Amino acid sequence: MRFLHTMLRVGDLAASFNFYVDILGMRLLRQQDFPDGRFTLVFLGYTDEASGTVLELTHNWDTQDYDLGNGYGHIAIGVEDVYAAANKIKAAGGKIVREAGPMLHGQTVLAFVEDPDGYKIELLSIDA
């Protein structure tokens, strides 16, 4: 068994696509529209689906936004340098909601960025 993907529902597919591709550097793996169901699925990742876990964006055409609730935590992405990645994301227009630095009760360096729908993404050193 292995993880295949994580799915997020997004209100503005173009804004989310641009965030994950242009700002976080993922690539489009596949996309499919389902006109009868009025939704689109977009699969993005840093590797192909056969090699690793990917992100599925689900856009329900008639829904503009979602209540994130209080159960969602975050997605974690491994980066070479948390400080450099956070600065690059900020320079590209991404919203940093927790600046890069050591966690409060430990040594792990991390940062948090927020996507256009308010989902949090944690940046961690690949060796963390």
pLDDT digits (tens, 9 = 90+) for 89-115: 999 999 999 999 999 888 899 999 999
Q: Quote the mean pLDDT of the chain.
A: 94
pLDDT at 106: 85
CATH numeric code, 75-125: 3.30.720.110
Model confidence at 27: pLDDT above 70: yes
State the CATH architecture for 5-60. Answer: Roll (3.10)
The catalytic site residues sit at 122
pLDDT at 69: 86
Domain edges within the chain: 5-60, 75-125
Task: Give the contacts of 40 (CB within 8 A, at least 6 positions apart).
Answer: 13, 31, 32, 33, 34, 58, 59, 61
pLDDT interval class at 60 (50, 70, 90): very high
pLDDT at 128: 52
Residue 78, helix vs strand vs coil: strand
pLDDT at 68: 86
